[in-house]
């Protein structure tokens, strides 16, 4: 295999929810492969720490504080990225949040938060990034973060399941619409991955953390996922290794759905 197929030299990658977890791990990996990283997050202090981390490893990255549920902030942030780097080749729509409640217990504002962060944000960022990819003339790659619960139901997570189900089918629609522009759009569906988001679920459910994580590891490969497990799949989807892959969903969950 030619190593150049994995190279991301001269490409600019926008990563949302990039200050921690899957987003940060992916930012580090794509930077290692040569990409310049535009890292978006609402948490400025953690975002700046992430940029310093990437820089220490020789990567090039810049942090942009952005509420990805806000149309104006998304537009202004994309404008700033273009001013700084002149192009965008990769968009990883990864920002996410979960509220572990059922339909009867969930408040309207919690529904709005979960749907806006997980689903609406993909629409907002994509609507500003896709025209840039089209204008550049050489296409691009968009990866949306779904979930195993975007493909099946889950207990006490009605808004999250709804939003992630939307991400899966939105990905297909985007791939159909923009294939003619050589823009590939794919979805990753992680299983339980060791992040602050997952550990926060144990707190919400008032469960013992050790037992919660043990249950999360109960799958054929007998371990919980690591952020780097997901990052490796993102690298495949944004690299030339997947040049004929679009409109698909890749489950990365240690066999949990199986």
Rounded to whole angstroms, how far apart are CA atoms 124 and 8? 25
> Secondary structure of the chain: what % helix, strand, coil (to 5)?
50, 15, 35
Rounded to whole angstroms, how far apart are CA atoms 143 and 185? 6
Rounded to whole angstroms, how far apart are CA atoms 63 and 77? 10
Rounded to whole angstroms, how far apart are CA atoms 117 and 98? 9
Give the closest residue to 230 by CA, choosing from 7, 20, 1.
Answer: 20
236 is catalytic: no
Rounded to whole angstroms, how far apart are CA atoms 191 and 221? 12
Find the catalytic residue in 64, 128, 160, 236: 160
Active-site residue set: 160
């Amino acid at each position: 295999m030619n190593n150049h197929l994995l190279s991301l030299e001269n490409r600019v990658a926008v990563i949302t929810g990039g200050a921690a977890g899957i987003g940060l791990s992916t930012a580090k990996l794509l930077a290692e492969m040569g990409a310049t990283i535009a890292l978006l997050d609402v948490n400025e202090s953690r975002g700046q720490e992430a940029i310093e981390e990437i820089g220490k490893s020789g990567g090039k990255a810049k942090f942009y504080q952005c509420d990805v549920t806000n149309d104006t902030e998304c537009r202004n942030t994309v404008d700033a990225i273009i001013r700084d780097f002149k192009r965008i080749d990769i968009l990883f729509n990864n920002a996410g949040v979960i509220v572990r409640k059922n339909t009867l217990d969930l408040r309207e504002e919690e529904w709005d938060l979960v749907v806006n962060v997980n689903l609406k944000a993909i629409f907002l960022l994509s609507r500003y990034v896709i025209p840039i990819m089209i204008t550049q003339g050489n296409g691009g790659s968009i990866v949306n973060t779904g979930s195993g619960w975007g493909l099946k139901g889950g207990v006490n997570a009605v808004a999250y399941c709804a939003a992630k189900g939307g991400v899966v089918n939105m990905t297909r629609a985007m791939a159909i619409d923009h294939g003619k522009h050589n823009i590939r759009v794919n979805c990753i569906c992680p299983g339980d991955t060791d992040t602050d988001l997952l550990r926060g679920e144990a707190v919400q459910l008032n469960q013992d953390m050790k037992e919660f994580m043990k249950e999360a590891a109960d799958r054929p490969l007998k371990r919980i996922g690591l952020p780097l497990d997901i990052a490796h799949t993102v690298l495949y989807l944004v690299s030339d290794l997947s040049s004929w892959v679009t409109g698909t969903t890749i489950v990365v969950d240690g066999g949990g759905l199986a």
